Amino acid sequence: MLCAAQASAFSLDDVVAKARYLMASPYVAPVSNLPPAFARMQFADYAKIQPLPAKFGWRDQPSPFKLNFYHQGMQFNAPVTINEIVGNDVSEIKYDAQRFDFGGLDAAKAAAGALGYAGFRVLYPLNQAGKEDEVMSLLGASYFRVIGKGQVYGLSGRGLAIDTALPSGEEFPDFREFWVQRPGAQDQKLVIYALLDSPRATGAYKFTLQPGADAVLDVQARIFMRGKVNVLGIAPLTSMFLYGANQQTDKRSYRPAIHDSNGLAISTGSGEWLWRPLNNPQGVTVSTFTVENPRGFGLQQRGREFSRFEDLKDRYDLRPTAWIEPKGDWGKGKVELVELSTADETNDNIVAFWTPAVQPEAGEALQFDYRMHWTMDEAALMPRNLARVTQTIHTTGEQTQANLIRQPDGTTAFLVDFEGPPPTALPADAPVTAQVSVGDNAELISTTLERNPAIKGWRVTVRIKVKDPKLAVEMRAALVAANKTLSETWSYQLPPVVVVAPPATAPTAPPPAPPPAPLPGK
């Protein structure tokens, strides 16, 4: 353990001073130093460059934590400075090409001498004693990923989001420099400091990582505004939703669902809990939820039975939920959900964050502290006295005819399953009802509530007629009894259908685009 004097040798205040200095200085963009062998590199070759276990950081130390590094290459074209804090000393971890196996890329190895690190990974014996498991990854802009025991990488956290999904274009801040505090032999937490920089904001961050069955990451963020922004995203999360039970694929696939997350959960400051299933829209959809002093929000992966995915390679059933637990009061604002269209699973198309009601002006300083839970136990995040939505199924509405044959009736139906303590604890004749509402663009045809013995819960079936398919439909449903809410609120948006007119003549096929480079773990 570091003593108090050693622990104060370097602190968040030191990074704050650097961020304040950057705020008062003109922005200088990172400059690529990649030679052609790295600048033209495709992802398959970049993935061949692997760190050598014998050269991991802290290999010669008794600490259970180890570090290894990402090499520069592709879009990771500017080096990131990584420092180590040891007692009273702070020193840069210098780039060393001998830390890497270049996988037969001889030309790249020969050109690597003057390059640097693009980011780093944290390893810890999480799943088995003596086995070094990757538990955190920091690579690209301000992105990072964390996993707990038995989990695989899925969604990402980010330091900051600026003007996400606006026509003017999104600004992606960068973590330009890191400081990692060398842990002692008995330490079970790792402290990482980060300096953030972008044209309109700078920031100082302290991350305290605690690996475990659920990984916990405490974040202290100090943000300094260089310029005016339209939407400042605090504690942003980025994920992928391709299709699932609420929005099924029209392609033949053995995989019933493909997603890193399937919904946004929000615990409002007023005590209400919301569940918003995700969509893969045909365009861009932005949904906002007014929340003053949120108690929590996050992108969740609900429903972890392997049969929901049937994917032995990518194991979407093992991808974690990320839950943001604010510390203190954040004030008036809203949680914003951005959904983008994606044709495949290699692109993250979901972003969620909290944004203040009044956007900060240039020169303002902001402070946000929060805890991130990376977990597969979503039920544990909710109060025990509320039922939660475990499944949303979108289907064609139908009626049973006199001959017992089910016949489509021109409606759209949603089957919503609620599972949790309140419904199962109620007597069989309890007067439970489903409180359902739909927006102006739909007519509510019927609502059916029935017990679901398979999950010891309830199933609500909502049938609607959409008035204009080119417009979205908003719907809400919750379980109530004697004016008491028994469940979280299911808040769903049926996205609009975009009709694309066929071209007058057959188009000329464009040249194939290079595949996108996925974030670590994709």
Give the model confidence (pLDDT) of 292-311 as tens digits: 999 999 999 999 999 999 99
Give the per-residue pLDDT at 235.
98
CA 360 to chain centre: 24
What single DSSP character describes residue 518? P
Residues 331-363: pLDDT tens digits? 999 999 999 999 999 999 999 999 999 999 999
Instruction: Using the predicted structure, report yes or no on whether residue 391 has a pLDDT greater than 90.
Output: yes
Give the per-residue pLDDT at 110.
92
Instruction: Using the predicted structure, report yes or no on whether residue 464 has a pLDDT greater than 80.
Output: yes
Give CA separation, 421 vs 272, 392, 456, 457, 487, in Å. Answer: 17, 19, 9, 8, 10
Give CA separation, 426 vs 429, 460, 485, 495, 510, in Å. Answer: 8, 17, 13, 35, 61
Could you tell me the pLDDT band of residue 501, with boundaries at 50, 70 and 90? low
Which of 132, 121, 252 is closest to 521 using CA atoms?
121
Strands 333-340, 133-139: pairing is unpaired
3-state secondary structure (DSSP) of residue 98: helix
Place of tokens 């050109």: 111
CB 196 within 8 A of CB 185: no
Could you tell me the pLDDT band of residue 257, with boundaries at 50, 70 and 90? very high
Which strand (E) or helix (H) includes residue 197? strand 190-197
Please, what is the average pLDDT of the chain?
Answer: 91
Instruction: Using the predicted structure, report yes or no on whether residue 489 has a pLDDT greater than 50.
Output: yes
CB 7 within 8 A of CB 478: no
Contacts of 440 (CB under 8 A, 6+ apart): 467
Could you tell me the pLDDT band of residue 516, with boundaries at 50, 70 and 90? very low
Average pLDDT of the segment spanning 49-69: 95
CB 210 within 8 A of CB 24: no
Could you tell me the pLDDT band of residue 500, with boundaries at 50, 70 and 90? low
Could you tell me the pLDDT band of residue 407, with boundaries at 50, 70 and 90? confident
Tell me which of 400 and 76 has the higher pLDDT. Answer: 76
Instruction: Using the predicted structure, report yes or no on whether residue 3 has a pLDDT greater than 50.
Output: no
State the amino acid at position 13 in one-letter form.
D
Q: What share of the chain is helix, strand, coil (3-state, %, to 5)?
A: 10, 45, 45
What percent of the chain lies above the pLDDT cut of 90? 84
Could you tell me the pLDDT band of residue 423, with boundaries at 50, 70 and 90? confident
Give the per-residue pLDDT at 520.
39
Give the per-residue pLDDT at 518.
41
Give the per-residue pLDDT at 54.
95
Could you tell me the pLDDT band of residue 422, with boundaries at 50, 70 and 90? confident
Which strand (E) or helix (H) includes residue 12? helix 12-23
Instruction: Using the predicted structure, report yes or no on whether residue 269 has a pLDDT greater than 90.
Output: no
Could you tell me the pLDDT band of residue 502, with boundaries at 50, 70 and 90? low
Q: Could you tell me if residue 315 is left (phi over 0), alpha (psi between -120 and 50 degrees) or otherwise beta? A: left
State the amino acid at position 281 in one-letter form.
P
Instruction: Using the predicted structure, report yes or no on whether residue 405 has a pLDDT greater than 90.
Output: no
Give the per-residue pLDDT at 430.
76
CB 203 within 8 A of CB 220: no
Could you tell me the pLDDT band of residue 522, with boundaries at 50, 70 and 90? very low
Instruction: Using the predicted structure, report yes or no on whether residue 64 has a pLDDT greater than 50.
Output: yes
3-state secondary structure (DSSP) of residue 321: strand
Residues 97-149: pLDDT tens digits? 999 999 999 999 999 988 999 999 999 999 988 899 999 999 999 999 999 99
Which strand (E) or helix (H) includes residue 390? strand 388-400
